[in-house]
Each structure stands twice: as C-alpha cells, then as structure tokens.
Structure 1
Amino acid sequence: MSRSPRSAALQMVPPAPAAAPAPTNARTTDAARPAPANEPYATAHDAVFTLVRLLLNRGIRPERIAQDTGISVSCLDDPDGRVPLSGFNALWALTAQVLEHPGIALDLHERYPDNRMHFVAHLGMRCATMREAIDQWGKYAYLVSESDSVRYETHGRTAYFIYQCMDPRFASRWFAEHYMALALFYARMFTGEPLAVHRATFMHSDPGTALAADYQRAFGVAPEFGAAQNALVFDAALLDLPFRTADPYLRHFLVTQADELMARLEPEARMASRVVQTLNLLLSKGQPLTLDEVAATLKLPVRRVRLLLESEGETFRELLNTVRREAAAHYLKQGLTVSQTAYLLGFSEPSALQHAFKRWYQQSAGQFQSEQGQVHAEDGKKVSAFGKLRREA
C-alpha cells in the first residue's frame, strides 16, 4: 500500500521556548509568528531541500535548523516530504540570515542541484506553450503548496502572471519573490527565448535598496511594491510561444499521475486551511464572505463544514476575522479609504471596521496608514472584482 503524501511530512520537532513578545508597535517577521495548529503544507523537494543544504554547507547543525524552524532534516530525501508553511517561512529567514543574503528567494533556483525540479515543473516543461504550462501549474499548484494560487490574465495585448498565497497567515515576500523569479527562469529555459517583462509588482512593502540589484537581475526591471497583486507583466503574445521541451506523450502520463496525487492529497487537507483559502478566493472575486458561500464553493453541506471546523478546534467566525484582518491591513497600505475597505470586506458600515481594526492592531486605521506613509486622498480609486486598483477616467 502506498503511503499518503501527508503522512510523509517532514518530522516537526518542538521549537525552542518563545522569547518575550515584542511591543505592539514593533515589527515582527513572518517566521516569528506562532505556528497555528491547522496550517497548509508545502513540498520539501526543491526549495526546502536546497535551503537546508545551503545551511548544512555553512556548518549549521541539524539541531540548530530544528530549533529555529521546527523542521527535522531526517526526511529531506523523501520525494513525498512536505513541511508546514510556518516552518518554511522560518527556514527562509534563517538561510537569509546565515548567508547574509536577504535576496536569497530571488536566486535560490540558481542553486538547485542539477535536474532537481518539482513534479509540477516537469509537467509544465512538457506542455506545448507557456499558456498551457501556466494553466497546468494553476491546476496542480496544490501539489507544490496547499496555499498557492497561480494564474494569468490578459488585457488587450498585455498579460499578467499572478501569484498569490491564499492563506494570509503565511503570506510572505519569500514565497512571492521565489515563485515569480522561478516562473520567469523556467519560461526562459523552456522557450529558449530571453522573454522581457515590462513590470514586476509585489504586494509586500519595499525591503530596501540592499535588494535593488537582486530584483534588477531577476526581472530586468525595478519592481513596484505595496501593489494589489504579485504579478509579472509582459506581452500577451508570449503566452503562445512554443516550448522547445514539449513532449505530449510524456505530458499525458504526468497529468495522469498528477490527478491521482491530487485525489490522495486534497481529502487530507485541513478544513480550516480550505476555508481560509476559499474566503480569499471569494474576496478576490468580490463575492460575499459567508459560510453558505464557502460551503457552496467547496461543494459541501454547511453543517459538514461547521462540524469539521469544530473537530479541528476552529470556528468560521475566527477564520473570517483572520482573513479580514490581513486584508484590511493590505488594502489600507494601498491607500484605500476606510469606507472602501469596509465595503470590500463585507462590514455593515465603516465604523464596524474601525472597531475591529483597533481590536486587531491596537491602533486606528488612520494611524496605521500614517505609519505606513501611504495616506492618499480620495481620488476616485476603486477596487475591481480582482482586487486591483484602477483609476477611473
């Protein structure tokens, strides 16, 4: 009998005792967040494997890696190995610190051992065009990370490759930088073309001038930060460039295997993670953030969703608050008004968001925007169904 991929997850070890909590006005890294009991997992095959190898080569002992990230390296060579995203984020931060290279996510793919690609990358490699490869990545993104969303959009002659972590508890610049740099690297490799991008946008704030050269090297352009989405913008005609690595025969068998793996993995996903990701999906489409909508999207009875959440020690209200809290901060950073943000997040009125925001962040929404230095006048900006800012004519 074959093992369940989830059962092959890398062994987690108890982390070191937590340090005293930072003051409420201090910034903390994603890696410093406490690991929720129910969280999504990601593959350990490529990025995690390479990060750990870099640390070991620098003389960092496995015990130190386990202490700082909660990840044991004993199962690294297991092709089915998976790690929780909290540990993955901590591993990124530790590697950046040890290597003194904060731009590690932008060039990690260059450090992969020869021919070490994830199964989904092998599938994309055998597709006929970039368009088909992105479609396949989006369909099977769950096999790479249970919180990943990958897609493309076209607007006239312009195309957008869009990456999003659908669980706001674990969204970080590490994942956005890595997957977008990796996507461009693979696209160039599989087509054999230089493939210039016009713009690169990131949802996270500007990490500083120390990374400017790394971004320029990865994308060929200076990125825009605090954007509505993580995206690479390029000519839509490139979507139909043929892949020189295309192999329809091999692709057929890879798709069959991917479907079988999805069928085994998805039923094991925590309901809390599925609900959080579905709420983010509904939010991106401008649909109501209700339990009924979530259950309908998951094609499950409302009562079944509620019972599964209760069995995991979660409630729908708590998860909805998590999504709203992260989304509210993101929208306000972009310069949306409190009224616009309240509308997008389904609050009955702006004052309800104000009360919730002060409870979440111990400061008013206005104070939060002032500290971010991104207060904008109400100049006709609105949010589309995809959550993108567009200036009305």
Structure 2
Amino acid sequence: MAHERILPTPEAEDLLELVRGIADKELAPRAARDEEAGVFPRDVFDLLGRSGLLGLPYPGEYGGGDQPYEVYLQVVEELAARWLAVGLGLSVHTLSCFPVAAYGTEAQRAALLPEMLGGERLGAYCLSEAQSGSDAAAMATRARPGGEGYVVDGAKSWITHGGVADFYTLFARTGGPDSGGRGISCFHVPAATPGVRADPPERKMGMSSSPTAVVRFDEAPTAADRRIGEEGQGFAIAMAALDSGRLGIAACAVGVAQAALDAAAEYSRTRRQFGQAIGDFQGIAFMLADMATGVEAARELYLAAARRRDAGRPFGTQAAMAKLFATDTAMRVATDAVQVLGGSGYTRDLPAERLMREAKVLQIVEGTNQIQRMVIGRDLARAADAAETGAR
C-alpha cells in the first residue's frame, strides 16, 4: 500500500514513483522465494545502480544523485518494504561510501567515488569484531607500516555483504594497543586485495538473502593513498558515518513495519469469523490502529532527523532516537501482524512470519537499541550539565 508522502520537489516525486515501480516489479515477486533459498540478489543491485539509486545522497559531480537525505531515506523505506535485504543493502552501501565522500581528498573522491556511486561496485562496512561489537574502540585489527603503505591483519565480524562486496571500508588500529579510539584509522580496501577473504555466511534467523560473514585480512597490503582521512581519525569517521547509517536502519524498519501493517490490514478485511470481517471486531481494529499510529510516528521521527541533517544541524541524538523508536516499532508491529493473521501468520505461506524474523535484526545492527539509549541518555546529561553551568 503506497503511503501518501509530501516530497520537497516534483523530481523527488518522480524518483519515488520510479522506485516503487522497480520495487513492485522486480523485488516483491521474488523476495520470499529468494529468502527461502538464500540467494543474494546481485542483479537487483546492478539494476539499482543502472537506475542511479546507489549514490542518491552524494554529489552529482562524482556520479551521485544530489538528493537530500529526506528523499534518499524514503527510497530506502520503499525498497525495504518489499525486500529488507535490498533496502538494508542500499543503506549499508551508502554507509560504506560515506568516509570517502566526507573525508577523502579531492584526488581520492575523483578516483574512487564514480565507480562506488555509479553501480559498478558494491560496498561493505568493516567495523565490528567478535570481541568489540558495541565497544568499537577496543578493536584488535591492526594496520602496520609496510610496503608502500600498510599491512593489515585481523578479522571483522557480522559484515553485511561480506564475501560479495567489491570493496571494504575498513577500520583498523594504527596506534599502540592502548591508544583506544585515538589510534584507529580508516581505509578503502578493494575486495580483490591479496590476503582478503570471507568465511561462509552466518546462518541467521532472517535476511538469508543478505550474506553476513567474517571478513579476514591476512597480511593484506594497503596503499598509503587508500587511507581515508588522517591517521588516527578513523574512529571519529566511523561514528559520523553511523549517525547517518542509523537513519538508514530507521527507514528500513519503517518499511518492514508498513509491510506488516498492510498484510494485517488486508487480512482483517478478507478473513471472516462469526459472520463478519475480523477487522470489524474492536479487539482487532484497536490493534491495527495502534500499529498504524506507531508506523506513522516512526516515519515522522526519521524524516525530522533527516531534515536536521540536510539543514546542516546536529542530528546524532535524533538519529539514535529514530533508530531506537522505529526498530522497536517494527518488532512490535510485525509481532502483532502475526497475531492478527493467527495460525496463517505463523506459516511461510504469508509474509508476516518473515517480516517478524527480519524486524528483529534491526534492533541489533548499527548499534543495539541499548546503545541508542546510552547515546540519548548521555546527550540529556550533557544538556542538563550545560544548563546548570549557564544558570550559575
């Protein structure tokens, strides 16, 4: 069900219509089948690239779409509503391009971004490790001086597109073992680099079409001109990227929640019990009303944060709020959709059970929702301290 949107320009309206057409024709008919088979839809990402959708929020001079985040995120939502593996894949690719676009030199942007944004390359974001998930500053992967730049050793865990990506945006330690976040640098590493390989994909609860794997770097040579930003700046780059990435996850969550709501609402009108549609019973009608209200609130929250970003205002706390609220909403709405569908909702014949399994991961990726609460809480504490200082 197409949600009525208020878009900033007629061009944005045309763009979203294009995306809906692609999503309805190319994604929706095959999502359940390919998820069941665990097929990665590389052809879909090729199509998105040819359609100019893999670089929407980046500058046109480098092959991007010059679109505000407010528009880009609605594209992500539409794709995720039909197939989360694709919507989230676009979000991860966009995240992987951010360091070069925002912190790369002019020479790096000119050399790397056209292929990254033009659909010829698919990216992955290598930050997490087995022992340093939420505590990213404790990473052990190391880039030491060697050859014409660096030699990388280590392993990154839970990497979306691990093994199928064409490049990895890698964060590795260049400082001493006790340097914390100050000793981390960012690198652009082509997947074909010697010593780079991926383990078999993880066997996950959902999103089987989106490979998640450990990516290993064994004496992997990395040229000095593939370091993005200054040495030791990597942690700051990673955190800045995640602020934007969390908005992508929020948009994905709203897409999943909208799809679950649509499935439940449609079923409530066609399923009859006791001589009437089940949607006419107050218990179901109130459940659907709460689901719809949550979806709408989550959408407005991520759009408000996106508009702050587009205006150049601080948005990190708002991104954390949007990610937290939207993904919790998606889990609740998807669970309620299964309940509305009853026994049918628990089978794979209808999409509700798949949406419920997919919603869960969104509460975990790009910072668990417990981490989002920490981010929000710390910002509240800072604001309270500042207010108290100003009142003295």
Q: TM-score, normalised by structure 2?
A: 0.30
* Greater fraction of residues in strand: 2
Determine which structure has the larger helix proportion and give its number: 2
Question: What is the TM-score normalised by the length of structure 1?
Answer: 0.30
